[in-house]
A and B are shown apart, each in its own frame.
Chain A
Amino acid sequence: MKRKLRFWYATALLMASLLFLAACAGGEEEAPRMPTPTAARQPTGEPIKIGVNIEQSGAASVQGEAYVRAATLWQEKVNREGGILGRPVELVIVDNKSDPTEAAVLTRRLVQQGVVAIVGPGTSPTTLAAMNAILESKIPVFSMGSADSIVVPVEQRPNVFKTPFHASQNVEAILVDMKRRGIQRIGLLTVNNPYGESGLAAWRAAEQRGEVQIVAAEKFEANATDVTPQLTRIMSANPQAVVVWAIPPGAPLARRNAVENLRINVPMYHDAGAGAELFLRLAGQSAEGAFMIHPKTLVWDQIPPTDRQYQVLQEFGRLYTQRYGEMSGFASYVWDALGLLKAAIEKAGSTDPQAIIRSLVMMGEYVGATGVVRMDPRDHLGLSASDLVLVTIKNGKWQLVR
């Protein structure tokens, strides 16, 4: 019996190591090293530490992966180009596992490790749970959460900033297109998690203002495998358009169910969370013709040179797609947060957290990949809905509508 057991453990060990090797091989394949262009000037001295507190596993890990990719890419670029103030940048990337408690603990830990600023947490619940630790730290913190309450009221959030558009701005931009098409009555399908909830709240607010009429609002679970019943309910209310507020795999699933099972023929709008490359991959053929409101990053190669963001988008788009083979809808939020921090540190000429915060709110304009950021002491987001574009999918590619 004992010998048998030993045999099985040996087998398991062998299998585990094989799997491990496979995993390592997979990892290498994913990140081919880019040839390093001649370094501008080797950064020297004490590295500037910036914390990156991200949901690399757990419920919000789909965004988390893109965030970490963007952060890694940014660190390499900046250090190649001479660092910040001539000093190298060191990102301390930690995984909070989408767990609110862990996000709070990690914020304190990063502060203790002497970071000058933190990027993350990346969702609303993790950010709000970490808020106490963030406020006590008094260092600049950028969140990628969607809830407005992360930076509002600004008096109580002196050192908190965020980079993704508010849900209300996404709604505003979709409404512009709906008005153009004469759409008044909509059906709303939101994922039953904090992300969907913030979208639902923003649409309810728009309805209150009389800008739209929500004839049906349904929810679905983030791990749902079929949302046909919800869509059936929505369609029976006869809406002129359907809005889906979800991240992958929910958003592409909804699209597929709508197109393949119900052959819905009204326009379907998705928000920026629907997930770029994952949306295409998971929705397949059915993705054709879906509308998505998004920062210009998805169509970075179609933006005319006259656009203010042209330069930034070219650089970000090229670097990101060369490294990872495809664009991500989420990556630019971290890219911009880090870029803003760099600009602020350079403007302040020091890494003193208070000086960084001062120069962030006094910066005037910063042209980022997500949009043109104009932060001021009253606005710790600084984006305007006019920087969002409407895109659609043609022949498996993102197309700029306007």
Chain B
Amino acid sequence: MSEFLQFVASGIGQGAIYGLVGVGFVIIYNVTGIINFAQGHYLMLSALTAVSLREAGLPAVPALLVAIVAGALAGVVTDRLVINPARRHSPLMLIILTVGVAIALEGLALLIWGVNPRRYGPFTAGPPLEVAGAAISRQTLWVLGVTLAMALALWWFFQRTLVGKAMQACAMNRDAARLQAINPAQMSLYAFTMAAAVAGVAGVVLVPITSAYYDMGVPFGLKGFTAAVIGGLVSPFGALAGGLSLGVAEAVGVGYVSSAMAEGVAFTVLALMLVLRPEGLLARVRMRWA
């Protein structure tokens, strides 16, 4: 039993990260209709920037905040330089454009930070917590706490602010939104910025658990996308729930099936979800944006 709990505990920590990346996919997809292939790369940029700033001697809080802003800036740049000028292209071209952005960001990271993985210590030092025989590291608690905070912040943003409501309107019907004097180009900018910032938050809380390196963008992007698809690509909260279930499925898969095929678990889930239930597991719940 404690073994099973350990798998679940590990899975939840991983899954929260997947979920945060997935949230970005959902926001961008709903507001602009684009699947952004570079989503995981914002996480990578923030993570590496945070490491550099910490190594340069900046205190933790400003370093992490600046790193998140750096990730968000990458989102701004993606939207203004690539997506906005190309908004009349076909969806096919837009996907490929984001692939181009992803490749360029990865190359840039390799240029700046080199190949070696880097890391900084956990936010709070100390031994892991024991829950019914399962060990949960303190950083995992940070990850979960930050994820919860992000979920609340997103809820507040989409429910209580004008911009958030405008983005929702854009997601429901872009043409109708335009008639209400909502500028889709501006909404697109906000969506990319927010998505990149959320991925950036995931990046900086993730570094102490693993490490940061230049080609971590693709694997996290893929897992995040899978999380978003499990949640039906309609709601940020669906993506978070999707991420948690994917993380747990992976960890339990390693524990009871085969560790050699662990990576296959996520991608098979992705393929099956897309083919069998493209509307997502949670579509019936109709969570939509809140």
Tell me if chains A and B make direct contact, with any CB pair below 8 A. yes
Residues of A within 8 A of B (CB): 5, 8-9, 11-12, 15-16, 19-20, 22-23, 26, 56-58, 61-62, 64-65, 192, 218-221, 223-226, 228-230, 232-233, 236, 248-249, 252-253, 260-263, 278, 281-282, 284
Report Cα–Cα, A225/B127, bound state, in Å.
19
CB contact under 8 A between A65 and B210, given known A219-B259, A225-B17: no
Question: Are B115 and A261 in touch, CB under 8 angstroms?
Answer: no
A-B contact pairs, 7 of them (CB 8 A): A11-B77, A65-B116, A219-B260, A223-B219, A225-B17, A226-B10, A229-B251
Question: Are A8 and B259 in touch, CB under 8 angstroms?
Answer: no
Residues of B within 8 A of A (CB): 3, 6-7, 9-11, 13-14, 17, 77, 80-81, 84-85, 108, 110-112, 114-119, 121, 127-128, 135, 137, 206, 209-211, 213, 215-216, 219, 251-252, 254-255, 259-260, 262-263
Report Cα–Cα, A9/B85, bound state, in Å.
11
CB contact under 8 A between A221 and B3, given known A65-B116, A248-B117: no
B122 to chain A, nearest CB (A): 9
- Besides A225-B206, A229-B6, 17 new A-B residue pairs in contact (Cβ under 8 A), listed by A number: A8-B80, A19-B108, A19-B112, A22-B112, A26-B112, A57-B110, A62-B117, A65-B115, A218-B254, A219-B262, A223-B216, A225-B209, A228-B135, A229-B11, A233-B254, A260-B128, A278-B117
Question: Are A64 and B115 in touch, CB under 8 angstroms?
Answer: yes
**Interfacial chain A residues near B210, Cβ < 8 Å:** 224-226, 249, 253
Question: Are B117 and A233 in touch, CB under 8 angstroms?
Answer: no
**Interfacial chain A residues near B219, Cβ < 8 Å:** 221, 223
**Interfacial chain A residues near B114, Cβ < 8 Å:** 65
Question: Are B209 and A226 in touch, CB under 8 angstroms?
Answer: yes
Question: Are B7 and A23 in touch, CB under 8 angstroms?
Answer: no
Question: Are A261 and B135 in touch, CB under 8 angstroms?
Answer: yes
B148 to chain A, nearest CB (A): 20
Question: Are A278 and B116 in touch, CB under 8 angstroms?
Answer: yes
B250 to chain A, nearest CB (A): 8
Question: Are A23 and B117 in touch, CB under 8 angstroms?
Answer: no
Report Cα–Cα, A236/B6, bound state, in Å.
12
Report Cα–Cα, A251/B262, bound state, in Å.
18
Question: Are A12 and B14 in touch, CB under 8 angstroms?
Answer: no
Question: Are B119 and A281 in touch, CB under 8 angstroms?
Answer: yes
Question: Are B6 and A232 in touch, CB under 8 angstroms?
Answer: yes
Question: Are B213 and A249 in touch, CB under 8 angstroms?
Answer: yes
Report Cα–Cα, A57/B215, bound state, in Å.
10
User: Which listed residue (A11, A61, A64, A262) contacts B135, Cβ 8 A?
Assistant: A262
Question: Are A261 and B137 in touch, CB under 8 angstroms?
Answer: yes
Report Cα–Cα, A26/B211, bound state, in Å.
20
Question: Are A282 and B112 in touch, CB under 8 angstroms?
Answer: no
**Interfacial chain A residues near B80, Cβ < 8 Å:** 5, 8
B229 to chain A, nearest CB (A): 20
**Interfacial chain B residues near A64, Cβ < 8 Å:** 115
**Interfacial chain A residues near B77, Cβ < 8 Å:** 8, 11-12, 15
**Interfacial chain B residues near A282, Cβ < 8 Å:** 117-119, 211
User: Which listed residue (B3, B128, B213, B260) contacts A232, Cβ 8 A?
Assistant: B3
User: Which listed residue (A192, A224, A236, A261) contacts B3, Cβ 8 A?
Assistant: A236
Question: Are A228 and B6 in touch, CB under 8 angstroms?
Answer: yes
Question: Are B110 and A229 in touch, CB under 8 angstroms?
Answer: no
Question: Are B111 and A23 in touch, CB under 8 angstroms?
Answer: yes
B5 to chain A, nearest CB (A): 10
